[in-house]
Structure 1
Amino acid sequence: MRVCIIGGSGHASFVFRAMSADPTIEVVGIAPGSEGENTAKFMKEAEKRGQSPKYYDDYRVMLDELKPDIAAVNCHFGDHAKVNFEVLSRKIHLFGEKPLATTMEELAVLEKEYERAGVEVAAMLGLRYDPAFYTAWHAVQDGKIGEVRLLTAQKSYRLGSRPNFFKNRVSYGGTIPWVGSHAIDWVYWFAGEDFISVMAHHSAMHNRGLGTMEMTGLCHFEFTNEVFGSVNIDYLRPSTAESHGDDRVRAAGTKGVIEVRGGRVYLISADQPGTQELPLMQPPAFFAEFVKQVRGEGQCLVSAKDSFRVTEACLRARESADTGKMVYF
């Protein structure tokens, strides 16, 4: 399976992590997707794995010359939509960093091009394949907490050092679409319902000179069937914390409550007293599952429908935070 990587600003490492599961994955070309972007880390990773991708200055020339099966796009976030469009317009399967677009206008154009192209698309919502979240979601699917009624999710990061493109809304897109996308995906995925409305807030205060980049965000979603979900997002995790991130989700249902925290899964069930810690399942490699989907051998957990819908939810939440008004889907 021939793969081109465009950009060096996101999580194209999913491609390399899948190579042990699928040795047919070959990175044949690498190019920046944004001006001044450094892709050296992916070139080094490919070479470390015995591969020799060709470097291009222009990703469009790369796509035209190499004609890959899949393009993994992870450039500056504000450029996602235009690069994704170039991929889809060539009828190349898209494995794209989230969010797939940073404006509603771009998203509409991209979705229309996807429908025309007839290819596979998955956003890099790879935490669906994290062992703890994968295990918890399967427990919910198995009815361990009954009917899901309420969800809360958290993404908390150390600020660390951030590239210059994070300082500008146009190139960054906002903290809700970037950091919040995973948590928004979790409440959507675990709920098994569709979005109705969102009320959100965000703040760039105390961002240590990072321009318009928001440090905190809070989103409240209403789903179909009177299910509610909240998401809190921050870059306030101290540098002294034992890990870079603190990812959590809690789902409350009619028969119990399940929580993911600290990489573990805890279940309180009406069927059994006390709190159970569930053994973690071992999920398959995300990109290897997408490759299977491209071959027609199955479906990965992140569908094109989910990829576009979660992107829309991120952008509508950002709109609500910008305007101070509730936004409807």
Structure 2
Amino acid sequence: MLRVCIIGASGHYRYVLEGLGPRIAVAGIAHGSEGETLHQLQAHMQGRDIHAPRFDDWRHMLDTVQPDIVAVNCHFGDHARISQECLLRGHHVFSEKPLATTLDALAELRQTYARSGKQLSAMFGIRGKPWFQAAHAAVQAGRIGNVRLMQAQKSYKLGARPAFFSHREQSGGLIPWVGSHAIDWLQWFSGASFRSVSAQHSRAHNGGNGDLEVSAQCLFEMSDEISASLSIDYLRPANAPSHDDDRIRIVGTRGILEVRDQQAFLFNDEAASAQTLALPAERAIFASFVDQIRGSAPCMVRAEEAFAATQASLLAREAADSGNKLLF
């Protein structure tokens, strides 16, 4: 039986609850950041008939439970520090993204991971959505040829955000939190590495949310002279039918793929009109992480990819802050 502890409830803890399977159980929960509550996590656990003790101190929980896996899911500015200690204690780490909110903290976490002998992944679970899986499979099969251009979009409703979102040192900002998902798509679809980034972001019209940026644009130069752009915003109307609007357009030497409206569309030299791709079953990222720990299959998001997406996010934020083009 694999034992999982969850530290915090500020991000996508549902990935853990949805990815539980045979011989794996939640063995304890605790808050990870000052002022953090666990009410929603406890409610979702009860709804799934999952029972685990709550601890007042996450270190005491780890000492008591000795879990195999720790899901780090607290305020984003605390991810790196807590993940690093979990690795040093000998636990596998499934972290909310971004892995860190500063480049120095990311470098320290990367060094600790490299020495730990443990597994690590980040909650880039949108990769597992059927429409992204279908599009990725088409790219891998060569149906659009060589990737040359990518345009991605992350658009969210702002809603009522927790107080820590208003403070850059605790939340990390718009690009690392929201944009990192799409930055991960860019490397995943292209297989390319990041070379440079220019970016802009704005706090204007943020509804009184302090330091929170609500709009951003990024332009990445990638290996093999691939160009990739990304727009990010919290400006999706409150009455929109869904909380988010995720899109990517991938232009290749043989055709074009578009992911939008929870579908994947392919236009290439195989047919005179666009094809709507068949959608596979959704993949659960936490279950994939467990598969890697058990040695049965690699995780759908490798540690190296999680580190690369986080670094690209933080450099994009710095490029936006400084107004300078930054090299990787």
Asked if these proteins are the same fold (TM beyond 0.5), I'd say: yes
CA distance in 2, matches of 1:306, 1:60: 28
The answer to whether residue 47 in structure 2 is matched with residue 55 in structure 1 is no
What is the distance in 2 between the residues matched to 1:262 and 1:116?
42
Aligned residue for 2:102? Answer: 103
* Distance in 2 (alpha carbons) for counterparts of 1:29 and 1:48: 17
Aligned to 2:274: 275
Cα distance in structure 1, aligned partners of 2:48 and 2:275 = 41
1:251 is the counterpart of 2:275:
no
In structure 2, the residue matched to 1:159 is 158
In 1, the alpha carbon distance for the partners of 2:246 and 2:8 equals: 26
The 5-angstrom pairing of residues 37-116 of structure 1 reads 37-116=36-115
The Cα shift of 1:41 comes to: 2.1
2:200 aligned with 1:197, yes or no?
no
Deviations 1:166-219 (A, max 9, x none): 001001101000000111111111111101000000000000100010010100
Match of 1:172 in 2: 171
8 A Cα contact 2:195 2:220, kept in partner: yes
1:27–1:46 Cα contact (<8 Å) kept: no
SS in 2 for 1:320: helix
Shift of 1:30: 0.1
Query: Structure 1: which 5+ residue stretches go unaligned?
Result: none
What aligned pairs does 1:101-250 form with structure 2 within 5 A after superposition? 101-250=100-249
3-state DSSP of counterpart to 2:37 = coil
Partner of 1:17: 18
Equivalence map 1:295-310=2 (5 Å): 295-310=294-309
> Is 2:261 the partner of 1:265?
no
CA deviation after TM superposition for structure 1 residue 49, in Å: 3.4
Normalised to the residue count of structure 2, the TM-score between the two structures is 0.98
Deviation at 1:52, TM superposition (A): 2.5
How many residues get paired?
Answer: 327
- The 8 Å contact of residues 60 and 86 in structure 1, kept in 2 or not, is answered as no
Distance 1:206 1:284 in 2: 36
Instruction: Give the letter for the 1:130 counterpart.
Output: K
Consecutive unaligned residues of structure 2, counting only runs of 5 or more, are none
Q: Deviations over 1:60-104 (max 9, x none)?
A: 111111110100111011111111111111120010000000000
Deviation of 1:48 after TM superposition, in Å, equals 3.6
Q: Is the 8 Å Cα contact of residues 195 and 223 (structure 1) preserved in structure 2?
A: yes
- For the residue of structure 1 that corresponds to 2:230, the secondary structure is strand
8 A contact 1:71–1:94 mirrored in 2: yes
Give the AA of the match of 2:70.
A
Q: Select between 276-285 and 319-328 the one with higher mean Cα deviation.
A: 276-285
Select between 204-213 and 53-62 the one with higher mean Cα deviation.
53-62
Q: Is the 8 A contact 2:129 2:283 kept in 1?
A: no
Distance (whole Å) between structure 1 residues aligned to residue 259 and residue 308 of structure 2: 23
- Per-residue Cα deviation, 1:271-298 (whole angstroms, up to 9, x for no partner): 2111111111113321111101001111
Bigger drift between 162-171 and 37-46 goes to: 37-46
| Amino acid of the structure 1 residue aligned with 2:253 | T
- Residue 185 of structure 1 contacts residue 310 of structure 1 at CA under 8 Å; is this kept in 2? yes
Counterpart of 1:186, as a letter, is: W
Tell me, in whole angstroms, the C-alpha distance in 2 between the residues paired with 1:51 and 1:280. 30
Percent of aligned pairs with the same amino acid: 50
Instruction: Give the TM-score normalised by structure 1.
Output: 0.98
Residue of structure 2 equivalent to 1:4: 5
- What is the distance in 1 between the residues matched to 2:270 and 2:278? 18
In 2, distance between residues paired with 1:244 and 1:298? 32
Q: Secondary structure at the match of 1:65?
A: helix
Q: Is the 8 A contact 1:202 1:217 kept in 2?
A: yes
In 1, the alpha carbon distance for the partners of 2:46 and 2:243 equals 28
> For the structure 1 residues 51 and 238, does the alpha-carbon distance in structure 2 shift closer, same or farther, using more than 3 Å as the test?
closer
- Could you tell me how far apart the structure 1 residues matched to 2:195 and 2:108 are? 22
Once residues 88 and 175 of structure 2 are traced to their aligned partners in structure 1, the CA distance between those partners, rounded to angstroms, is 28
The structural deviation recorded for 1:47 is 3.4
Shift in Å, 1:4:
0.2
